[in-house]
Amino acid sequence: MVKENKSVIDEIDRARLKLSIEHYAKYFIGKRNCELTKDEAFKVIALAVREFAMDRMYDTIARYNEHGTKRIYYLSIEYLIGRSLENNLYNLGLYDILKDIKIEGFPDFSLNDIFDAEYDPALGNGGLGRLAACYLDSMASLGIPGFGYGIDYQYGLFKQKFENGYQVEQADNWLGDDSPWQFARTDRTVTIPIGGHVEMYNKPDGKVSYVWANTNNLYGVPYDFPVVGYDGKSVNYLRLFSAKTDDELDLNIFNNGGYIEAVRDKIRTETISKVLYPSDNIEQGKELRLTQQYFFVSCAIQDIIRRFMEKSNDFKKMPDYICIQLNDTHPALAIVEMMRQLMDVYGQEWDDSWAIVTKIFAYTNHTLLPEALEKWSSSIIGRILPRHLQIIYEINRRFMEFARSRFGEDSYKLGKVSIVDGDGDNQVIRMANLSIVGSFSVNGVAKLHSELVKHSLVPEFYELWPEKFTNVTNGITPRRWMLRANNDLATLISEKIGTSWITNLDMLQDIEKYIDDKNFLKEFLKIKNENKKRLSQKVYRATRIMVDPNSMYIVHAKRIHEYKRQLMTVLQIIGDYLAIIRDNVRPITPKTYIFAGKAAPSYTFAKLIIKLINNVADVINNDERVSEFLKVVFIPDYKVSVAEYLIPAADVSCQVSTAGFEASGTSNMKFALNGALTVGTYDGANIEIREAVGEENFYLFGLTDEQVRGKRLTYNPRELYEKSDYIKRILNAVNSNMFCEKDYPQLFRPIFDALLNSDYYFILADIEAFNNTIHQAERDYNDREKWAQRAIINVARIGYFSSDRAVMDYAQNIWHVKPVVD
């Protein structure tokens, strides 16, 4: 009976999907089926699939309303969601149905061609945005009432190209308002005041009221992006806001010949949602970034309050219905904006408002880097958000009274916890401190990271509120990162152990019993090789460099930053290259090193590292002496759709951050899930991955966090250079013209000097251990069957690192919400 019912439903869905595709081709695109381009074919199919998602979304919201449950609002400045069509087809159960549909006259595009026509939404940059996207997927798949809030960037970060080896940034106009997945909710547009000044009035009861006067108004128009959970049982949404002005232009000015002046304010306003992370090297950039953060959180807070007031006017009940998770410090102003709304708009008293705020906000810390902990000049905040600055000062005044009750007059501890730092023109607002003070929960994202947050980053806060601090180790969604990205492996696994692993990743442990099954090993290796062939084709199209799928693929794919140590990887490559051409060393296994990642446009040193990698690649790839042993490629414009090809093809995953600097990382989890072995440091989630997969299935090297901290004051990288022929040879090559003959002499001297004079991230301290570990992996790779067994163990034991588990940790221990399912 169940099979019969499913068959009937499939037939209904097939007929509806077919009719919808034909409808959108004829009435939306305005073409006959046979005239559709590949891009148009993608759009009509996406719109037809969106119908199914929307129906499920309405059903989901109705179910949440019926249960009257608490809702989770996830605030993140970025979401790296990737392509949606294939993912939604899988999750809605429409993938096989679409494959079987025959539409008269429809172009004979393959499904893969249509999937490739979808442009990645340019809404994020790296791990922070990808984590947010994984959590939205898991909340929907688990039936947790969770909704994302963010900005609908028109251009996102940037599109990366290489010119003469240099990173060049181009606008990444992904689709924006024209995306088939998004739909505008103009009825939910919110007004955002900005600028002006604050006026103080005495009320009849003797209390003081504040009025934020003479403001300029921005308008936030929401666009909803359905988030389809697995099996389509729940569909939540991501609400993204775009900045608009109230009028297209001032016609009086325009009619007097002042077109530029007429559109100036419109251009300035709409710039707010143009790009992700505008450069803050200049004052205007700082103002734009702060305005962007305020715009985003004010839109979200107003929308959250509106939704609450549809149920109740009793604000004391807000904690029963609302929990707001701050994804790092970018949304920290939400705490202040909620206070402003409750007091200034809805007439609540300070104490009542603060009691509400401190019960609904939770904060996730993502960094241990002091320079990454946001601070804003009070003068900028005062100019853009004068009322918010008043509220911040009052929050801090009251908090410092509490801190003194615990610390006495200990000026050091009081200085560390104060939200306000410095005075006069040098005064800054510490957003991490504000987030901690205003939240009921503070979590790190890996065990080591959470311990370092408590004992190294903010020990004074931990002393004040030890009960606030907890850990939630990050996770990744298996729907995107295996079922979607590595479907052949997903199919092989499902044939052996069933499909329950898709929603319970711990079930992957059942495949470990097949590590001695010759046929299973053979199929596993075959799938890996096919993935490597597929990637080699992508690499060639992107770089015009041919790479050998039979070589060992060593992948370092991350945002380019000194602490992530792409520089160490390229120095190790140089060492191998020199050993081949000068010492006649013949590697046991041919190796292909694959880099991917973007550097922030203003991060000059990181961009020089990219230039070095590309120059080294150019020299090595054109040297016949090493052609059968070594290749280096840098894939441009790294994004989710590129990662979906890259990660399943990797043999070795480089997770080599300086110990104590990486909060967690999630690419380490994705690579392990897809059968890559990790070469990594004792840092972030590497530690927990190594514990899970077994130390014999993880290549550990390098200093520990304790050792890094212990050596910090006495570390002498120049001494290492003088004592080590290996290090000296590599650095002398970097400082010579070997890798810059086509540019200008000693182009890479800044790298040479930085390593010898400081080496803040301990590259020279770890590089020989890294080199030895890579060579050990190279030797082990020669025994392909044993390598496959270790790779399978990585897959089998990675279940803990599911975003489903992480979201349930949040739900049970922080949000206090349960899944709402039929």
Instruction: Please give the positions annotated as active site.
Output: 366, 558-559, 564, 666, 670
Complete DSSP assignment for 507-567: GGGGGGGGTT-HHHHHHHHHHHHHHHHHHHHHHHHHHS----TTSEEEEEES---GGGTHH
What are the angstrom distances between the C-alpha of 170 and each of 82, 159, 162?
19, 5, 11
What are the angstrom distances between the C-alpha of 603 and each of 102, 600, 606, 746?
51, 5, 6, 20
DSSP, collapsed to helix, strand or coil, labels residue 152 as coil
Backbone φ and ψ for 662, nearest 5 degrees, come out as: -90, 125
Return d(Cα 82, Cα 495) in angstroms, integer: 27
Return d(Cα 334, Cα 338) in angstroms, integer: 6
Return d(Cα 643, Cα 541) in angstroms, integer: 15
- Strands 183-184 and 216-228, by their bridges, are antiparallel
Q: Are the beta carbons of 542 and 635 closer than 8 angstroms? A: yes
Closest CA to 517 of 498, 488, 493, 487: 493
Return d(Cα 87, Cα 232) in angstroms, integer: 11
Which residues, in sequence order, are bridge partners of residue 679? 654, 699
| CB environment 751-779: b (16+ within 10 A), e (fewer) | bbebbbeebebbbbbbbbebbebbbebbe
End-to-end CA distance of the chain: 20
Tokens of 596: 């991917």
Backbone φ and ψ for 377, nearest 5 degrees, come out as: -60, 135
Helical H segments across 310-385, by residue range: 318-321, 333-340, 350-360, 378-384
Handedness of CA 776, 777, 783, 787 (dihedral sign): positive
The residue length of the chain stands at 822
Backbone φ and ψ for 321, nearest 5 degrees, come out as: -120, -10
Q: Are the beta carbons of 81 and 121 closer than 8 angstroms? A: yes
Return d(Cα 593, Cα 634) in angstroms, integer: 8
Q: Are the beta carbons of 495 and 482 closer than 8 angstroms? A: no
Q: Are the beta carbons of 145 and 183 closer than 8 angstroms? A: no
Residue indicated by tokens 């400081």: 758
- CA 111 to the chain's CA centroid: 27
Return d(Cα 553, Cα 671) in angstroms, integer: 12
What are the angstrom distances between the C-alpha of 110 and each of 104, 116, 613?
15, 10, 36
Residue indicated by tokens 């990675």: 798
DSSP 217: E
| Contacts of 71 by beta carbon, 8 Å cutoff, 6+ apart | 64, 145, 146, 147, 307, 321, 322, 323, 817
H or E element in which residue 163 lies: strand 159-163
Return d(Cα 634, Cα 190) in angstroms, integer: 43
Return d(Cα 15, Cα 263) in angstroms, integer: 49
Radius of gyration of the chain from its Cα atoms, rounded to whole angstroms: 27
Closest CA to 672 of 466, 505, 462: 505
Tokens of 667: 């690419």
